[in-house]
Amino acid sequence: MSVAASLVVVFGLVWLYAGRLQNKDLEIADVNEAYAQKEVHFTGLITEKRDSLAIFASANPELYKKFTADLAKLDEEYERLRLELPTSPNQTFVVKAMVKNREIQLQLLKQQLLIINQVDDYKKVNQI
């Protein structure tokens, strides 16, 4: 009887270990397809807005530096969540946090671009 119990425990541990190895490359789409679509949408818009922000870098280098520092913090948090996803007991919660992070990045970029446009407008008005 103890041999059979030992075999069950060993097979159970092997199964759990193999499952964790397979989950190492877990993506948002593996957890929730709808959130994956949102994440892809936000990521595309974020890339577009970052490109727009980079155009203003030479005109406002200090402001650009501050803005990119804020975005870097959000990127670090996203990466932490991405690494946490495969081992999280509540993967849906982590996926929601990842998508929310992307949404916040997009909102921040929109606000940053608005500020840069306002600064440029102010400079133009005060040149006259």
- How would you write the pLDDT of the chain (128 residues) with one tens digit per residue? 565 555 555 555 556 555 554 545 788 778 778 888 989 999 999 999 999 999 988 888 898 999 999 999 999 999 999 999 999 999 999 999 999 999 999 999 999 999 998 988 888 888 86
Give the per-residue pLDDT at 119: 87
Give the per-residue pLDDT at 6: 54
Give the per-residue pLDDT at 12: 59
Give the per-residue pLDDT at 27: 84
Beta-carbon neighbour count of residue 62 at 10 Å? Answer: 7
Q: Where are the alpha helices (DSSP H) in 24-84?
A: 28-31, 33-55, 61-84
Burial of 98 (0-12, 13-18, 19+ CB in 10 A): buried
Give the per-residue pLDDT at 4: 58
